[in-house]
Amino acid sequence: MVQTINTAELVELLANQQVDLVDVRDHQEWQSGHIPGSRVIPLEVFRADPDAAISHGSIIVFVCAKGIRSMTAAKLAERFGYANIYNLEGGSKEWASAGLPLVVLERVAA
């Protein structure tokens, strides 16, 4: 079952558990500001092969900007038989609104 958590619950979970924090936005969105410790797996990539992206037995928290794409990913993971699936309510926008840090990566000119 997909569980929805808020930012305070995610902070507590990250402090007390080993968590696979998966951001399903595209690379550009992720670079513009993401939760520390998250890794980017765009939703389209995740949809193509969920088993290549995540591991069974892990606590997995899906994140996007507002919580919509991440809920799609979480439900897909659930259909593939994954347990311990969470969706961050309000996404990275809610995280930032709570005053929590975001990592911003500068774009390198090509």
Indicate which residues carry an active-site annotation: 64
Query: How far is the C-alpha of 27 from the C-alpha of 18, rounded, in Å?
Result: 24
**3-state SS class at 93:** helix
Amino acid of residue 19: V
How many Å apart are CA 37 and CA 88, to the nearest integer?
A: 14
Question: Hey, how many other C-beta atoms are within 10 angstroms of the C-beta on 78?
Answer: 13
